[in-house]
Amino acid sequence: MVWVSSPWKIALMVFPAFILFTAFFVYPIVYAGGYSLTDAAGFSGADFIGLDNYLALVDDPFFRRSVSNTLLILVLSVTFLVPASFGLALLMQQRVRAAGALRALLFGPAIVAPILVGLVWVFILDPRVGLLNHLVEPLGIPPVQWIGGDSLTPYSIAVVFIWASVGFAMTIFYAGLQLLPREVMEASSLDGASRWQQLRFVTVPMMRETIGIVSLLLITNVFKIFELVYMLTGGGPVHSSETLVSYMYFVTFTDQRYGSGMAIAMVVFVIGAITSLAYLALSRRGRLA
């Protein structure tokens, strides 16, 4: 006997999830959107000012710098993290000694709090006491401002983010590789396909959905980078290393311009949503992954 759910039963089962989704996702977005249209600051009143906060962001050089830094980290992460984690997953699939220990070692940074990851890398990248400058000093290389400078800091943040995320992405790829049907791989091998041809024409097309999931998670995680910036540089010097979320935190809680901070939050939400939806749309058409 096939049990058929009535629309009322389906609605009853979905209702608790709908309430939670509305309370913890929809309502905060609507609330932040409303606040972004006011001049709320500190404990003073909030008057409606329309789109003035958004128009002010266009002329804000620190906001523009935070956007460029975030997009730079995104491009570097997509360019290097996805291929690197996929390659590591392929390597872990081979018969390598201590493969389990290597997987655990690579996955380790993913379970460490980002604030602790930032703290560890401070002792590596700090221009004065950092390990990296001490290692290159005997080679006659002058101290480099890996963090705290005007140019290299966003690249350093991208490197730390990639280091902290590669194990997590590798684990997802590794799980996807384990689900590939062995019959297809064996058939391609019997047909005379080389390992490179198997990878290009069999493995990668069959892993397309997994690659899309990893890329989508990567995009959303880049738009949430805060702790690394807070720990490595605090957004300095003069907000030159801010990301969108770290600058939103400064404007909202340090400068106490809640209306402007919520406007930045809405921009982050819109950019993240558009980027994710665009990638999903292109992936479905087979133009990516």
> How far apart, in whole angstroms, are the C-alpha atoms of residue 74 and residue 64?
15
For each of the domains in the chain, give its residue range(s) and CATH number, in order of start.
Answer: 68-242 (1.10.3720.10)
What is the pLDDT at residue 1?
A: 43
What is the pLDDT at residue 2?
A: 47
Closest by CA to 253, choosing from 40, 33, 42, 30, is 42
Q: What 3-state class would DSSP assign to 48?
A: strand
> How far apart, in whole angstroms, are the C-alpha atoms of residue 289 and residue 279?
10
Per-residue pLDDT 10s for the chain (289 aa) are 445 567 888 888 888 999 999 999 899 999 999 999 999 887 777 889 999 999 999 999 999 999 999 999 999 998 999 999 999 998 888 776 777 778 788 888 888 889 999 999 999 999 888 899 988 888 888 888 999 877 889 999 999 999 999 999 999 999 999 888 888 877 887 777 788 888 888 888 888 888 888 988 888 899 999 999 999 998 888 888 999 999 999 999 998 899 999 999 999 989 888 877 877 777 666 554 4
Counting Cβ atoms within 10 Å, is residue 99 exposed (0-12), middle (13-18) or buried (19+)?
Answer: middle
Q: What 3-state class would DSSP assign to 21?
A: helix
What is the pLDDT at residue 288?
A: 47
Residue 188: which residues within 8 A CB-CB, separation 6 or more?
Answer: 197, 198, 201, 202
Q: Which residues of 113-132 are buried (b: 16+ CB within 10 A; e: fewer)?
A: ebeebbeebbebbbeeebeb
> How far apart, in whole angstroms, are the C-alpha atoms of residue 18 and residue 31?
18
Q: 56: which 2 tokens?
A: 């002010």
List C-alpha distances in Å: 31 to 38, 52, 263: 11, 17, 11
Q: pTM of the predicted model, to two decimals?
A: 0.87
What is the pLDDT at residue 73?
A: 93
> How far apart, in whole angstroms, are the C-alpha atoms of residue 246 and residue 31?
20
